[in-house]
Structure 1
């Protein structure tokens, strides 16, 4: 039996991150503590402060600064939707040997074990270039170096918010705010019922516009690929690279695998 948590983890050193964390076993207080000690989150915060320092050295006008940051915040749901639907849920990355490990790390492992906190957090070598490519040129076009710094900071802070909301959605915790509870409901359906929809995390605007928003009652049949994203044992025979990195191909519900 393949262990549900047989995943390639990033090297974490120091503090509470000397061991793995699973959101279905954590309290909200424990999540806060783990969140603000995670290396990627600390990196986002540090880079945000550096961006503020750059802005003070090369300031844009207040209007251009707010506009640069606002555009990035507004673009975020569309960018996330596109990446989540057409990259993370692609059926082409695992077919390319040098992309297989990236696809495994950035999303396959998360669907294999949705509550594994280290896997839930984005890997810096994939998130930072994406944030920079999207935010810096837009900000520079609006307000020069200062605008670029403001836009990059906005992208980093938005990513921090997204990461925390994503954690809450997997935490053994019922959100008090109705809007967060609704986000969690949709995301849980994405993970445990049908992965071919509800791609948003903090916003489902683009799901509604592009026809991928759904309620579980609208799709009575559970997707057979909700946990493996289409990377089945049969597919692995032809494209073995993810299976080789994972020690095989796990099948079935992650929680039931865990109890086996």
Structure 2
């Protein structure tokens, strides 16, 4: 007797359903539903609330933290030009973190119940519902948790007086990334640079999801050979 394939009911909370898809999850999650109305994740209103974030909450919450971190390095004796270089270096480090997370964590292949469930929460939901405006930026509570290992990483590669500014630069890079990501989905760019970046990102969603992992730029896609071919990019125009 052949077991019946599991079917996700889109009218019910999704998070604890998707794990049952097993090996079929990867195919299901990469068939996008283009609607600005997002699905319900949880039965609990509390947990549901934590999954929804307006885009402007990101700069509102994190830019003061960026400023505080930068001021710490200034108070420890660094000049403004030195701090500016550290902030730029932090932004540069973030672009690599952004690429690495997107390629190796957000696009990890899963097939177990909990693997599918966690992947859907982290990134799968975005590919399934790419226009869900309240799930395009990272929830602040999750960002706060991830700041701890990022701070420790920065401490390993810098000195006590440069760590705050370097971390602040990385956090500023994250704010730029999340705001850019929202704009690429919901903005209507009129100039060439943001318009091409929007095409580049939507190409990742709707044509070749195994390439084009950069959000704020295609730099690391070029470095690591995950740049979509020009022919594929041209088809997305």
Is TM-score (shorter-chain normalized) higher than 0.5?
Answer: yes
Residue-pair matches, total: 199
SS in 2 for 1:119: coil
Q: Which of the residues 214, 220, 226 maps onto 1:206?
A: 220
- 1:159, distance to aligned residue in structure 2 (A): 1.2
Q: Which of the residues 106, 115, 138 maps onto 1:88?
A: 106
Structure 2 CA distance, aligned partners of 1:35 and 1:187?
Answer: 18
Q: Which of the residues 119, 125, 133 maps onto 2:135?
A: 119
Q: Which residue of 1 aligns with 2:39?
A: 6
Does 2:72 align with 1:58? no
- 1:129, distance to aligned residue in structure 2 (A): 4.1
Structure 1 CA distance, aligned partners of 2:117 and 2:61?
Answer: 23
Point out the more displaced range, 120-129 or 54-63: 54-63
Structure 1 CA distance, aligned partners of 2:152 and 2:215?
Answer: 23
Relative to structure 1, the CA distance from residue 57 to residue 157 in structure 2 (aligned partners, 3 Å threshold; closer, same or farther) is same
Structure 1 CA distance, aligned partners of 2:87 and 2:149?
Answer: 14
CA contact (8 A) 1:162 1:201 kept: yes
The answer for unaligned runs of 5 or more in structure 2 is 1-8, 12-32
Structure 2 CA distance, aligned partners of 1:89 and 1:185?
Answer: 20
- 1:175, distance to aligned residue in structure 2 (A): 0.9
CA contact (8 A) 1:51 1:149 kept: yes
1:189-204 equivalences in 2 (<5 Å): 189-204=203-218
* TM-score of the two chains, using structure 1 as the length reference: 0.63
CA contact (8 A) 1:197 1:212 kept: yes
- 1:217, distance to aligned residue in structure 2 (A): 3.2
Deviation per residue, 1:48-85 (Å, 9 max, x gap): 23324533543434455334322221122222111111
Q: Which residue of 2 aligns with 1:236?
A: none
1:14-53 equivalences in 2 (<5 Å): 35-36=55-56, 38=57, 40-53=58-71
Structure 1 CA distance, aligned partners of 2:84 and 2:151?
Answer: 13
Does 2:149 align with 1:133? yes
CA contact (8 A) 1:139 1:150 kept: no
Structure 2 CA distance, aligned partners of 1:205 and 1:214?
Answer: 12
CA contact (8 A) 1:131 1:152 kept: no
- 1:135, distance to aligned residue in structure 2 (A): 5.0
Point out the more displaced range, 194-203 or 154-163: 154-163
Q: Which of the residues 156, 171, 179 maps onto 2:193?
A: 179
Relative to structure 1, the CA distance from residue 68 to residue 130 in structure 2 (aligned partners, 3 Å threshold; closer, same or farther) is farther
Does 2:156 align with 1:148? no
